[in-house]
Each structure stands twice: as structure tokens, then as C-alpha cells.
Amino acid sequence: MANFIGEANFLHGALAPAANGRVTVQTEIGPVVGRAPAADAPAGTLASLCVRPEAIRFTAPPADAPNVLRGTLCNTVYLGEVAQHEFIVPGSSNAPGATLKAFENNPRRIARDEHTEATAWIDPEDVTVFPS
């Protein structure tokens, strides 16, 4: 793995069995689907997931999108044509939730000093899985 990753969100959890080049990881925000790691890792193996802030999309997800997240945008910083948000994603009964950094090109929402409900999605191809 490279020493420099840049800005990224890291989630942690346990692998489910891989299928069709993808794997589901039970994380602190619930199940997240990503690219299966190159090395075979058995189900139950602990893993870290890397999701870059620009991979979190606030456009309408495809009908079959697996990684649809509902949460709250807050603490927005506007950087010209890009907004940097904190995206608070609640967990489920067994997951505590997480705050993700998200970048939005040509932002259409204002959440600088308020909390705004939002839906986002992440393409599984943008989720890198690193078994422990």
C-alpha cells in the first residue's frame, strides 16, 4: 500500500463472502459494498475500507445502487466550485455510525451553519477494501 493516500474516509468491519468481484463489509454505518481485495480473505476477516471524499455523490443513485446513505450535512466549507461537507451517517442498532468528509462539485445546497438532511451514494468501484 502507498504511504500517501491523501484525504480519505476509513471505515472498519468484517468481510462477508466475495461474489462477482465485490465484497460486502459490515461497517459502523451498516453494510458497504466494495471491490473484492486481490488476495482471498475468508468471511469474517476484519477489514478497513477507504472511500475518498469525492466518491460520495449527492446525485440521485441508480435504482440498483448498493451503497445508498442517508444522513446529515453540516460544517460546510466552500472552496470555489467545491463544497467540503461533514456527512453524519447514523448507524443501525449494531453500528455506531460515522462522520464522513464529502466533496461536492458545483454545490446546490447550503449547509454551512445548519444541519441539512441528505441522501448520498458511493459506487462500489470507489470503495477500496484492505483486509487486516
Cα dist. 64→61, 67, 75, 122, 126 in Å?
8, 9, 30, 12, 16
pLDDT tens-digit map of 56-113: 999 999 999 999 999 999 888 888 889 999 999 998 777 789 999 999 998 876 666 7
Phi, psi dihedrals of residue 113, rounded to the nearest 5°: -115, 20
d(CA 67, CA 121): 5
Tens of pLDDT along 14-62?
A: 999 888 999 999 999 999 999 988 778 899 999 999 999 999 999 999 9
Q: Residue 45 is placed in which grid cell?
A: 476477516
Say if residue 79 is exposed, middle or buried (CB neighbours under 10 Å; 0-12, 13-18, 19+).
exposed
Q: State residue 108's pLDDT score.
A: 72
